[in-house]
Homo-oligomer: A and B are copies of this chain.
Amino acid sequence: MTDRYASFVQSAAGRALVKRLGLPDPPRLRRHHPGDPLLTGPALLGAAVGGRLAEPVTAILTAAGVELRDTGTAAPQDRFGALVYDATGITDSTQLRQLYDFFHPQARALLPSGRVIVLGTPPSECPAPREATAQRALEGLVRSIGKEFGRGTTAQLVQVTGDANDTSLESALRFLLSGRSAYVSGQVIRVGVGAASAPADWDRPLDGQVVLVTGAARGIGAALARVLARDGAQVVALDVPAAGDALAAVANDIGGTAVQLDLTAPDAPTRLADHLASRHGRVDVVVHNAGITRDKTLGRMDADRWDQVIDVNLSSQERINDVLLERELIPAGGRIIGVSSIAGIAGNRGQTNYATSKAGVIGLVDSLAPALRDRNISVNAVAPGFIETRMTARIPLVVREAGRRMNSLAQGGLPEDVAETIGWLAWPASGAVSGNVVRVCGQSLLGA
């Protein structure tokens, strides 16, 4: 569960050797601790002519205590915590040159674990093909910057609709600038319309929220329970009875409650709904984190391996959603959050069952998000890449090393990185973020 190579590289002796031999050089990533400032240095703001977001972004960042600079006042030797560019003014490919003009001189100006954020308009909302084309082009730039800049830099494209909710833009910026998004890079995140409420304290963005976490006994689920509790949530930690001891330890640790339940049992949705109704009267956030693998190539896979994986990772989650929604236990402002996977995006050898289930989770987000818009319930998912867990620790060394290094950050992510991203999607302030599948993969090379 530890990346010994990265620890070595980050030691004094290791640094010298790695530089001399030209080995992969995974940087130590800046991660979030309560009370941390959003950035380790000032943010440089830029905007294309005609952009519409300079004003809200300036207001948001100033309120968040970020020191702001613009290209007029920045000196060549200045170093920044973030480069933030409002590209919403770009309506034609010939205007893309403004992005070059902003980023070219700053390519080496970012502090370690710096942030690149380009703000654009969703192409589907652009009135003219020329504008849609130029806005879609931004994705190629951002993904290339993510692969170029190095030293823990992450780069994202945030697509903001014309009538987007300012609180949700703030929520996205606070997440993406902070150490919470340490292992999220090369992503396109859409911020749209939907009710969102800012927290009284941005260090406790989940204050008072009742959050259900399935598969909470270990790995990503346990990390998630801890992150959610740290951020103010009342956590209902659920796992199978066989994991009861580990589950109780997690629940005790965070002052949450534990529920032992096999989610694939026919009566599980009803029992779960009854429990939530009687104990909390509602569940604000449902995180379907429980998942299993049963790897075999399709020719060698028995039917049980297929059925179990589809049922745990997909079908049982659909049954639970349906019952919780039907009984109106997820109130307006609620969240459904799934866990997909790079395998669900790209497919994977030996994982036909797993990849099918995880591609289905993407389908669930795509279809349920618009269906629940009227009820003001958002639906999103994360798609982890290589994360350091007991599951990945069992992968043979050579394959594991390839998986760890084949991303822009040259290292695996931690369960906490996935947890922080799910946590952000759960914030009441993120209400206008719906229908997104956010990869937590360090911008893995793998994809489709």
Contacts and interface: CB of A to CB of B under 8 A. Distances in A.
Interface in A273-327: 297-299, 301, 303, 306-307, 310-311, 314-315, 318
B298 A93 contact: no
A36 to B, nearest CB: 29
A264 to B, nearest CB: 11
Interface string A370-399: 010000000000000000000000000000
A448 B132 CA distance: 20
B446 A141 contact: no
B126 A367 contact: yes
A202 interface: no
Interface stretch (A175-183, A218-226, A343-351, A416-424): A343-351
Number of copies: 2
Contacts of A448: 143, 186, 447-448
B107 A367 contact: no
A144 interface: yes
A354 B355 CA distance: 31
Contacts of A99: 356
A352 interface: yes
A357 B136 CA distance: 10
A130 B445 contact: no
Nearest to A369: B129
Interface size grouping (class) on chain A: 35 or more
A360 interface: yes
A115 interface: no
A358 B140 contact: yes
B298 A140 contact: no
A145 interface: yes
Contacts of A93: 310, 314-315, 318, 357, 360
Contact of A310 (B96, B123, B138, B315): B96
A231 B303 CA distance: 46
B363 A97 contact: no
Interface in A56-90: none
A347 B144 contact: yes
A146 interface: yes
Given A129-B367, A148-B298, A360 B315 contact: no
A100 interface: yes
Contact of A347 (B142, B348, B351): B142
Nearest to A445: B446
Contacts of A96: 310, 356, 360
A104 interface: yes
A108 B349 CA distance: 15
